[in-house]
Structure formats: structure tokens, C-alpha cells
Amino acid sequence: MLRKEDPRLVTGTGSFTADIKLPGMVYVRFVRSPYAHAKIKSIDTSKAKALKGVVAVFIAKDVKLNPVPTAWTIPNADLKIPKYYPLAVDKVRYVGDPVAVVVAEDPYTARDAAELVEVEYEPLPAVVEQEEAVKPGAPQLYDEVPNNVAFTWRLSGGNVDAAFASADVVVKHKFVNQRLQPTAMETRAVVAEYNASTDSYTVWITSQNPHVHRLLFSAILGVPEHKLRVIAPDVGGGFGSKITVYGDEALVVYLSKLVRKPVYWWEERSENYHSSTHGRDHVEYVELAAKSDGTITGLRVKVYANLGAYLSTAAPGVPTYLFALMLSGCYKIPNIQAEVVGVLTNTSPVDAYRGAGRPEASYLLERMVDLLSRRLGKDPVEIRLKNFIQKDEMPYTVATGLTYDSGDYAAALKKALEIVGYEKLREEQKRRRNAEKLLGIGISSYIEVCGLGPSKAVRGTGFGLGLWESATVRMHPSGKVSVYTGSSPHGQGEETTFAQIVSYELGVPVEDVEIIHGDTAMIPFGMGTYGSRTTPVGGGAIALACRELVAKGAKIAAHLLDTRVENVVFDAGRGAYLVRDNPQRSVSIQEVAIASYQADRLPPGVEPGFEATKFYDPENFVFPYGTHICVVEVDAQTGQVEIKRYVAVDDCGVHINPMLVEGQVHGGVVQGLGQAMLEHSVYDKSGTLITASLNEYAIPTSVESPKIESHFIYTPSPHNPLGVKGVGETGTIASAQAYVNAVVDALSHLGVQDIQMPLTPERVWRAIHRS
Amino acid sequence: MEAQKLQKKVSVSIKINGKVYTADVEPRLLLVHFIRDVAGLTGTHIGCDTSNCGACTVLLNGKSLKSCTMFAVQANGAEILTIEGLAKDGELHPIQKAFWENHGLQCGYCTPGMIMQAYWLLQNNPNPTEEDVRKGISGNLCRCTGYQNIVKSILAAAKEMRGR
């Protein structure tokens, strides 16, 4: 089924936030700190204000705004949330920290004026690395956060000390899961308009969750929630960086009231790289305990997570719950212990980025499994098969407390091995051990937790709200259907997928179904799109709303057909209600709809109208999993690596639109490979972001990206209304370690154990020559 | 004061998708801003500030160009084709149709630039190999699709266009 989104997008008639033009619009430009850490001595805006075409210039004391909230307040972690304001008050704490804001009649004048704002700084020593930042004597970002430690969080299951004490072998390793820049192709933008007569605001914004933006804007601005309308129009990717509710965005909204004109702000790429959230940035000390036969008995992990200069919206939960809860992976690891120290540094804020904690977990696990198999002289396949949770052991509660609902990890691995021709590859590898081009095979058996998520569990972690999703399904008198979803897709295609669900449930043509998303004025509260929740939870809500609508229709149909409701059956294929023992007698769902609006032939107790609203709170997370195998050729002379094959076997349950599912696998895999091959967000010691443009920060192009052989296993989720699991992040959770395992495997006979991501040719070459 | 002196406006006329747009512009106005804000054609997007991403790709006098790397004054008198000029009488161009049929886009932000680059690529090489396509679009970044279906779309469009 082709996408409903595409006709407008392939013709350039989509409406992205930066495309919006309102009469009388003025343009916003931020003045941002060039220092990573400095006191603000003075700010002189007089020259800027004097420039022709400048409407206004504001600094912190001109705007009365509340601190930017952190919405995931993890419990039992001694969490300290520093106060962070949209405009710096007396100190700047990262390069890019907003200090002043200019409003002008055209964007070029706004830029000119921003350069005329004179800020006198007193530079302070900066600290950019997390282990440096917690040392005594390190520069302190906030008085209220001693040693820059924002939290210390622990998780423990089983008896890790006993496991290590009795282990036959202990493998220890330090990993750096390096900082990344999400790089959605569309940067952030906000257009805001204040209506003085109703004292209300309309905001168009590049958001993954408009209602969350509305709620937190309400807190920052001190404006009642119902006076804010937030609209996410077409959004050009997010990958987590547009979940965050940013101070600069809130300020733009506020400016619309201050200047009494519609305001327009667009983030250029270098600005995006400085002030939109980054991802990952863990330093991890990992220890694995095992028996000599390869049985893993324990895992101990200590992580220093770099959070940047302030705690972003979801930041505390990503390197803690979303990371550590998945430390069992696909394996039976009875004893697990994790300690995560969240550290503030003079760098850009870090928050969720595609996978958000789960790539970090599966990376270290799959690398450790390879290191263990190397230590024991066993095939990495053997170690995995030995430790997998088996299909007939489901549902299985792991040591971290999660209960996996379904899955056959061994089947995915075996299928991938067969497709890639594993035995033959191992033979070829042996033959080529002394060749110029070495062959390497990397296996990644991943599992992840998504379809966020059951509200009780999620609230137990300190998340600010539940993670249910809303849906209103309304059939109009003419039989067309409008669906109002709290999901907020930005490329994933749910305008199509959701229409398919409705078509399937109600028996109406897909063309008759319209999916409305992204506008808080039209939709009951929605939690948005991230955490691979849109189809499982958003789609689940829609399915349940459809079923409730069908049930209401049955009562009306029974009345129209002059029979009891128990005698009526809905045939979705025909889109009609039939009399069970006389199927010739039927009435279409459209006829039922009209009857509901005419309301003169309704049975007692049934209201007019034909719509249903459901808030679906999933009873569990969903756990997609799979095995990816990457085959590489390493040039021993140059360190260059070529991907010869990439096989993905994934199980994400039921597929509603197979073409879109595969598209998510492709995109997710390439993003993970980006981390493994190319990407690294780099700061120098003074806190300057070196990778501040696409000239320095390399994301995969069409040339580096491999052709992905995508295959599937289908184990429906037993608790999801559609049997669906998520797939938006699985590729990213699987691929980085598949690549690294492959390159290390190619060089294992030379004694190479690990290479730090990104595996640039220089790093690969040095690893070869060091060994 | 110096900055404002330099910005004395200049009259330019640029033909975009067959229609001439004339305006007085600052010499430093980027061509992509002329296309988006003066001509009002917002299908051409901006994704970076270093000419790496290709979201702003258009055709200028028949050749593909990243329109962020040219000033509007440099394009005075030129003929430009943007994404909005591809479909004829409401019928999609084969490349647009192929992207739709082969899921060659997800968020759609890189798509106009990608399609324009594909248009130029196929004009010069109507029967490209997969490697030709991957090299040919290597100046256009996509963060959503992993490129696989973009390549598939372009090869499908090439086949259809050869058949006509």
C-alpha cells in the first residue's frame, strides 16, 4: 500500500514549519555564547537596537520566564536538577547557550543585529569530559550540583558479587559509546502568533510531541495550557532531538506576545549542532562473569553518562532505565548490576537519540559476548545459542525486572546464519587470513524494549506522564472517517498505516479515511512519536476505538435489522453487519452511521453520533529482536573497510505495511552504521564544538551505505491489540556492533580485541599495526 | 554602517519553472532564499550551511546546482527548474512517481533536492548502474531511508523513462 503522505512530499507542496508565512511576520535570531563556560559581565544591546529594521532586542532580565523543566525525574538517584533559563542570566555553560534574542523585519537584518550585540564575558575554565568533570577541583557548572554529578542511579538483580566470586572467567573492558549529533535533515523552527483578543497563542513547531510541548511551554511561560495551540506540521525527521522542549523554542512563543507580531525562527545547521540535543556519550566499565563452558553468570556495568550543560526534557531516564533495563539482552544472565553516574559538562545537552539507551546496552553486550567467545576459544554463535532465552520459556522475567512477552532468538540467529552462508564464510575467512583483504563476520543478536509504555511502569521510573496514547475515530454522516491520533509521525508513514488499520477494522476504503495528527486543538491529549510507540500504542488505540465503534454500531444495526444484538455479526471484509443465521439480511456500516445521526431509529440507551475515543494504556512494553550479520573486507594496508554483505533478520510482530517496516530497518541500520563508521561529536578541551557543520560531522551518504538484505520472522505480540511490536529503532540498536564485531573479527588473528568507534581507516590501520 | 552600505539593493530577474520573478534584492541574498521567500516556492529546502546536504538542489540553466552556494544576483537572467516545476498538468514526473511507488522517501525533507539531482543524473546517464546512482546522489544527504529505496526509485524511474 503506497503512502498517502507522498503526493505532497514528492511535489514540494508539503508544509514544513520553515515554509509557513504569516502577514506581518518578523524574524528571530539568537545571540549565543562563543564560550563554553563564562560569567556574563555585561550586555550592550544599544547598537543592535539602533539598526534599521530591528524590532526589539531582549536579554534575560527583559523576559519573565520560568526554568526549563526536566520531565523525567528518576527516583532514588539523588537527582539534582539545576535551574536552566531560556536566556542565560549570569553565566553561560556551553557554546551555543542563548544570551540575547533579536527580532527584525527580515532574517538578514536579524543576523546583522545579532552581531552588533556586545557581550562582555569573563571566561571560566571548562570541562567537557564526564570522568574529568567528577574529579575534585574540576570546574563546577552549578553551585547546586556538587562535582557536576546530577544523579547516581543503581539497578541490581540477583547476586552479582557471588557470580563474580565463583566465575571461571571474567572479561573486563572499557567502552566509549561516543557522542553523536542526531542530524535530522530539517533543523528546528518555530512560528508563533499571539492573539490579543483571546490572550492565546498559536505555535507551529518541529515537534515530535505537540501536546508535551504545549504542557511544558505552559510551565515555562506561565500561560494556561488551554491558551496554547501547538501544531506540528510536516516535520523533517526528529530521531529524538525534537522530543525535547527547548528554552529557545519557548522564548520564541513568548516573543510573539512581547512584539505583538507573528514571529519566525529557523535554526541553521551550525546552530542546530550547538543547541539541539546530542545523543549517547557513555564511558562504560564492563565486567562479564562466565563459566568455562560459556554460560554467562553475571554482568557488572559502571557508566559515566555525559548529560551536557543542563538536564534536557527526558535526559535522566535515557542512560538509566532505557539503558540498564535491557542489560540482559537475549540472554539468561541471572545476576546484573548497573551503576550510572549522570554528569554535567560544558557541552550541548544530551537526550534521547534513536534507540535512546538501548543501542548502548546491546552494543556493550554483543561486544562482550564476542570478547568472551574469543577468550574461551569458542565460536561466537555457540556462546549466543548457549545463553539465549528459549522460545518455550516465554514469558521470561529477566534479572533487571522486565518480562519479555514473546520471541525466538535462536530462530533469528539461525536464519541469519543460513542466509549469509556462515560456514562457507568461515572457510573463506580462513583461506584469506594472510591476504591483503581480510574477511570479517560480525554478529549482533539484539533485543529492545519499546512501544513505550505501560503507564504504571513508566511512572515508577519517574517519567512525568503516563505513556498511553489517544485516538478518536469518527465516521461522518457521509461514511467518511476522520481519525484524531495523539501520535505525531514525522516520516514514519502512519498517515498510511493508521488508515490501513481503520480500513481493516471498519471495512471502509483507505481513501475514505483521513488521519489527523499534530494539532493540539483537534486532538485529545497525545504523548507523541518516539520510543517506537506509534504503531503499537498509537495504532493500538485506533484499533480499540474502531472496535468500540463497531460494537456501538452493532446495537444500532440490530435495531435496524429488527433482531437481537447477539444475532448480529460485523463482517469487516464487507463493511457490513449481518444477521448471523440469515446473512442475506445486512446493513452497511455507512447506513448505521447515517442512522446514528438521524437518531430517530436508535435503540434505547444508545446516543446519537458515530464516533469512539479510546485512551490505550499498554499492559506491557513490546520486545522486537533479531540478528544482524555484517560481512566486511578490511584492507590490511590502508585500514579501509568495505561492507560486502549486510543481513538483517528482525521480528517486529505483525506488519501492517511491510514496505514501511522495511524502510525503517534500512534507515535504522544506516544510522547505527554511521556511529560505527563515521560519526563523532567532538569537543576540544576549551569546550569548542569542532564538529559544528556537515563538513566535520560525517553522516553516511549513498556511497557508504550498504545494500541491506532484510528478512523477517513474525511472532505477534500477545498483548498488543494488533500483535504489533515497534521497529523504528531496531536497526540502530542492532547495527553498530554488527559492524565493529565484523572488523575486529577480520583482525582477530592479529590479536586485535577492540577498536574505538568510529572505525576510521586510521583507527583500523593503527589497530593492525599496534598488534 | 558599512554593512548597510554594501547592501544597496540590485534588481534581478530570474525565470523559475517558466515564470519570471523580478525583485530588488541585497547582493548577499542567497539564491535559495530568493526561490523560497521572493518567489514563494518553498519546495526547495535548506538542510545545512556548508553546501554538504543537497536539500537545496535545483537545476540552473540545465545543470544541477546547490542553490545555497549562489547569490541571487549571480543567477540574474538564468532559467531555473525546481521541484514544483516537474509535474505537468497535475501528472507526476516519472521520477516523482517512482519515489512514491518505491518508498523512496520518509520525512520528505531531502526529497525535492534528491529528485532534482536524480533528474539531472538521468538526463546525463539514462541507463545508470546502481553504483552510478549511488555516486551520482552522493552530494544529497538523507537521514531517514538509508538510501536503499532512493536508489531503487531512481533505477525504476530510469527504466520507465527509457521505455517511453
User: Of the residues B56, B85, B114, which one is the last residue of a structural domain?
Assistant: B85
Task: Give how many domains chain B has, as a whole number.
Answer: 2
- Residue B158: which CATH number? 1.10.150.120
Q: Domain A17-124+187-235+242-275 sits in which CATH superfamily?
A: Aldehyde oxidase/xanthine dehydrogenase, a/b hammerhead (3.90.1170.50)
Q: What is the pLDDT of residues A508-529, one digit of tens each?
A: 999 999 999 999 999 999 999 9
Of A120-124, A433-437, A680-684, the poorest mean pLDDT is in A433-437
pLDDT tens per residue, range A343-353: 999 999 999 99
How does the average pLDDT of chain A come out, rounded? 97
Chain A contacts of B140, Cβ < 8 Å?
A: 702
Output the pLDDT for position B91. 97
State how far the Cα of A518 lies from the Cα of A522, in Å rounded to an integer.
8
Distance CA A142, CA B94 (A): 58
B6 pLDDT above the threshold of 80: no
- Using CB atoms within 10 A of its CB, is residue A572 exposed (0-12), middle (13-18) or buried (19+)? middle
CATH number at residue B20: 3.10.20.30
Give me the domain span that covers residue B156.
Answer: 94-163
Mean pLDDT of all residues in B154-160 = 98
Is pLDDT at A675 greater than 90 in this prediction? Answer: yes
Nearest alpha-carbon partner for A344 in A91, A154, A121, A123: A91
pLDDT computed for residue B4 by the predictor: 58
Q: Do B77 and B8 have their domain in common?
A: yes
| CB proximity A6 to B under 8 Å | yes
* Same domain flag for B29 and B60: yes
Q: Tell me if A707 and B82 make a contact (CB, 8 A cut-off).
A: no
A771 pLDDT tier (thresholds 50, 70, 90): confident
Query: Quick check: A269 and B48 CB within 8 A?
Result: yes
Percentage of chain B with pLDDT > 70? 96
Q: Do domains A282-452+620-770 and A468-616 have the same CATH topology?
A: yes
Phi and psi dihedrals of A437, rounded to 5?
-110, 110
> Residue B111 and residue A9: Cβ atoms within 8 Å?
yes
> A462, A463, A466, A443: which is closest to A454 by C-alpha?
A466
pLDDT tens by residue, A482-492 = 999 999 999 99
Average pLDDT for A358-385: 98
B105 and B42 in one domain?
no
Candidates A686, A692, A678; CA nearest to A278 is A692
ipTM entry: 0.97
pLDDT score of B71 more than 60: yes
CB distance B143–A185 less than 8 Å?
Answer: yes
Mean predicted confidence (pLDDT) in A36-51: 98
Q: Are residues B103 and B80 in the same domain?
A: no
Do B74 and B24 belong together in one domain?
Answer: yes
A696-748 pLDDT per residue, tens = 999 999 999 999 999 999 999 999 999 999 999 999 999 999 999 999 999 99
C-beta separation of A23 from A79 below 8 A: no
Collect all residues of chain B within an 8 Å Cβ-Cβ radius of residue A700: 146-147
What does the DSSP 8-state code read for residue A535?
A: I
B103/A660 touch (CB, cutoff 8 Å), yes or no? yes
Last residue of a domain, one of B85, B115, B141: B85
All 3 cell numbers of residue A565?
444484538
8 Å CB contact of A695 and B47 = no
Mark whether B9 and B81 lie in a shared domain: yes
Cβ neighbours of B4 in A, within 8 Å = 51-52, 112
Are residues B52 and A112, on separate chains, in Cβ contact within 8 Å?
no
Based on the domain organization, do B81 and B137 belong to the same domain?
A: no
Nearest Cα residue in chain A from B114: A10
Whole-number Å distance between alpha carbons of A675 and B143: 13
> What's the CATH code, domain A468-616?
3.30.365.10
pLDDT band at B164 (very low <50, low <70, confident <90, very high): confident
Where are chain A's structural domains? 17-124+187-235+242-275, 282-452+620-770, 468-616
Fold observed for domain A282-452+620-770: Aldehyde Oxidoreductase; domain 4 (3.30.365)
Contact A3 B149 (CB under 8 A): no
Q: Does A270 touch chain B (CB under 8 A)?
A: yes
Helix H segments across B62-138?
Answer: 94-101, 111-124, 130-136
pLDDT of residue B3: 55
B30 and B53 housed in the same domain: yes
- Please give the interface size between A and B, counted as residue pairs whose CB atoms are below 8 Å apart: 176
Distance CA A107, CA A110 (A): 5
Question: Are residues B75 and B56 both part of a single domain?
Answer: yes
Which among B55, B138, B146 has the least Cβ separation from residue A666? B146
Report whether pLDDT(A375) > 90.
yes
- pLDDT tens digits along A399-441: 999 999 999 999 999 999 999 999 999 999 999 998 999 999 9
Cα A242 to the chain's mean position, in Å?
9
What is the reported pTM? 0.97
pLDDT band (50, 70, 90) for residue B7: low
Collapsing DSSP to helix, strand or coil, A393 comes out as helix
Output b/e per residue, A592-618; b: 16+ Cβ within 10 A: bbebbeeeeebeeeeeeebbbbbbbbb
Please write the tens of the pLDDT for every residue from A588-628.
999 999 999 999 999 999 999 999 999 999 999 999 999 99
